[in-house]
Structure 1
Amino acid sequence: MARGEINRSGEMEVFVRVVEQGGFSAAARACRMTPSAVSKLVARLEARLGARLVNRSTRRFLLTAEGCAFYERAARILADIEDAERSAGTGEAPSGRIRLNTSSAYATHILAPILPDFLRLHPAVSLDIVQTDLVVDLMADRTDIAVRAGPMKSSSLVARKLGDTAMMIVGAPDYLARTGMPRTLADIEGHERLGFGYVRAIEGWPLRDGGETVVVPATGRVQASEGEALRRLAIAGIGLARLATFMVRDDIAAGRLVPVLEALNPGDREAFHAVHVGGSGPLPARIRALLDFLAEHGRVG
């Protein structure tokens, strides 16, 4: 059979029915097929996958380990298809689960305060929030929406801008009391500069040096994979950190952190976007609802 002629969703649906009904005969009745046709379909599926999915006898029906794994993934895929079809109608109220990928900083300082309002507006929608500063493959990770910081690279993703934020270097008062407040570019060489443990668009801290901007490496002894961790480390007095203003605004007001080298701040800003995979059809209502809500209430600045 040619690849394009295989009805994968149909095969998945029959196999899932076999598992959930507990056998070929019950699945055949549910699918309005003959037991022989169901058995042949499962056999073809096993041959195509190159794996035995079920061990069968006249009295027993048992899934193999491969069958269990295939059933779980097939059931999720079919549920997603059903949800997409149900929510695709333009007049239907948003419903279903949304997988949202975002940084811990955005989740903590922007998303958490507004999330109760979104859930009240859309009681049939549920959220699966994954927090990471790393860029993920939306399709491979089965992500509906990702909130990303930094410049957008050309891709098949559709982006909606959520504003941009100023950046600043901060340190804890007790750290600065021990090490002294840096006031020149040369002063910063003697300080712990907390950085990110992965490749970023700009590797280091841009600072003004006369009429030019230079990038100072973040070469401290401690690195972290997310901005929120760097914020907590800075508050603990481990070193200086360069973070988005919205992350540290409350800490500065409360005296937990102090702005550092603001006279040398080049005034660069980091953009935030909500991105999703593009396509020819309309977005599911639940995805469209969250994108609209973030564009109105989830902006950074």
Structure 2
Amino acid sequence: MARIDINRSGEMEVFVRVVECGGFSAAARALRMTPSAVSKLIARLESRLGARLVNRSTRAFQLTAEGRNFYERAMSILIAMEEAERSAGAGDEPVGRIRLNTSASYATHILSPILPEFLGRYPRVSIDIVQTDMVVDLLAERTDVAVRAGPMKSSSLIARKLGDTAMVVVAAPSYLARFGVPRTIEDLDGHSRLGFGYVRAVEGWPLRKGAETVIVPTLGRVQASDGEGLRYLAIGGSGLVRLSAFTVREDIAAGRLVPVLEDLNPGDREAFYAIHTGQAGPLPSRVRVLLDFLAEQGRVD
């Protein structure tokens, strides 16, 4: 039987911390070790594996292809070890902390109303919610689940669809009173069209023009990094905005926002997904129950 090396998990933890911190010195500070000790440990790990994991230089820290592969596998193993320890102490009951990355719009309009029920079902599960519309690296950010809108690119991520939502162009009554109600694509030339401050799958608003669908670019003096920011800008009278219907449904009912250009709406819908990494092995129970709950209660349609 091969000798069991009880230090292997420790080596993995140090290597993972080096990657997450972006270098030996930063990892040493986080681990309360000396940089030389961290460097020697990584060198010993590389020697045992027979592969270079990190390209070292005085100016940059860069993972090799072997290093990236080992990092992902090490993360999978460490997560499985953590889950095994939790399961041993808690039976089949989900327990532990979930890091959830989601847009502010989904967190505000879908997640917040249903979260008390989830916490009531699973009293030993805690959730850290990180709100951003930007796409993040789940492994690098130590994220368990992310809720994202738009088409899914083929990758190692596994997605569970949470439905799809209609899109609508809206504006505040005060804005329309000042600048008029646009009825054609040409009318938009005189309007502030609020947009996102980052690259999206479709840059602009799809609108019908005869039998075709054209993309009208956003052109406003203000941009925002998330849908909730754009929603509040629209309510305040800063311009027109095109958002998911579920985020403005209550505003329309209350008269804070008014739909416009509905005759030009092409009827496209935006899909939402709960995604997680496709790492080997079973999902941690805490992650599985959250995915099941979102598929049940957290749909956008």
Q: 2 CA distance for matches of 1:199 and 1:191?
A: 22
| Cα distance change of structure 1 residues 190 and 91 upon mapping to structure 2, 3 Å threshold | same
Q: For structure 2, which runs of at least 5 residues remain unmatched after alignment?
A: 15-34, 44-74
**Maintained 8 Å contact 1:156/1:278:** yes
Task: Give the TM-score, by structure 2 length.
Answer: 0.76
- What corresponds to 1:140 in structure 2? 140
Paired letter, 1:47 = K
Distance change (3 Å), C-alpha of 1:160 and 1:88 = farther
Distance in 1 (CA, whole Å) between partners of 2:124 and 2:250 is 33
Residue 274 of structure 2: aligned partner: 274
Indicate conservation of the 8 Å contact 1:11/1:45, yes or no: no
> 1: CA distance between counterparts of 2:286 and 2:154?
26
C-alpha distance in 1, partners of 2:78/2:283?
Answer: 17
Q: Is the 2:138–2:277 contact (alpha carbons within 8 Å) kept by the matching residues of 1?
A: yes
Distance 1:43 1:242 in 2: 54
1:248 and 1:164 mapped to 2: Cα distance? 15
Among the aligned pairs, what percent are the same residue?
68
Cα separation, 2, equivalents of 1:173 and 1:123:
44
Is 1:208 matched up with 2:208? yes
**Structure 1 gap ranges (5+):** 15-41, 51-76
Superposed counterparts of 1:247-258, under 5 Å: 247-258=247-258
C-alpha contact (below 8 Å) 2:13/2:78 kept by paired residues: no
Distance 2:248 2:271 in 1: 17
The one-letter code matched in structure 1 to 2:263 is A
**Separation of aligned partners in 2, 1:43 and 1:258:** 63
Q: CA deviation at 1:219?
A: 1.1
Residue among 23, 29, 47 paired with 2:40 = 47
Equivalent position amino acid for 2:98 in 1: I
Partner of 1:103: 103
Deviations 1:146-197 (A, max 9, x none): 0000000000000000000000000000000000000111111110000001
- TM-score normalised by the chain length of structure 1: 0.76
Q: How does 1:19-168 map to 2 (within 5 A)?
A: 45=38, 47-49=40-42, 82-87=81-86, 92-168=92-168
Q: Is the 8 A contact 1:87 1:286 kept in 2?
A: no
Paired residues of 1:207 and 1:213 also in contact (CA < 8 A)? yes
Q: CA 1:154 to 1:13, structure 2 compared with 1: closer, same or farther past 3 Å? A: closer
RMSD across aligned positions (CA):
2.5
Output one character per residue of 1:105-157: Cα deviation in whole Å (capped at 9) or x when no partner.
Answer: 00000000000000000000000000000000000000000000000000000
**For 1:224-248, what per-residue CA distance to the aligned partner results, in whole angstroms no more than 9, with x for missing partners?**
1100000000000000000000000
Task: Specify the SS of the correspondent of 2:281.
Answer: coil
Q: How far apart in 2 are the matches of 1:162 and 1:93?
A: 25
SS of the aligned residue for 1:193 comes to: coil
1: distance between equivalents of 2:168 and 2:161? 21
Q: Deviations over 1:216-273 (max 9, x none)?
A: 0001111011000000000000000000000000000000000010000000000000
Answer yes or no: is the 8 Å Cα contact 1:150–1:201 preserved in 2. Answer: yes
| 8 Å contact from structure 1 (residues 88, 283) kept in 2 | no
| 1:16-47 deviations in Å (ceiling 9; x for gaps) | xxxxxxxxxxxxxxxxxxxxxxxxxx986552
From the superposition, tell whether residues 88 and 275 of structure 1 become closer, same or farther in structure 2 (CA, over 3 Å). farther
Instruction: Report the count of equivalent residues.
Output: 244
Contact 2:209/2:264 (<8 A) preserved: yes
When Rg is computed on C-alpha atoms for both structures, the one with the higher figure is: 1
**Equivalent position of 1:28 in the other structure:** none
Describe the shift of the 1:180–1:284 C-alpha distance in structure 2 as closer, same or farther (beyond 3 A). Answer: same
Residues 195, 223 of structure 2: 8 Å contact kept: yes
Partner of 1:169, secondary structure, is strand
- Alpha-carbon separation, structure 2, partners of 1:259 and 1:298: 25
Alignment of 1:169-208 (within 5 A): 169-208=169-208
Distance 1:137 1:99, change over 3 A: same
Give the 3 Å change call, closer, same or farther, for CA 263–228 of structure 1 in structure 2. same
Separation in 2, partners of 1:209, 1:43: 65
1:28-79: CA deviations, max 9, x gaps? xxxxxxxxxxxxxx986552358xxxxxxxxxxxxxxxxxxxxxxxxxx899
SS at match of 2:198: coil
SS in 1 for 2:256: coil
* 1:266 counterpart SS class: coil
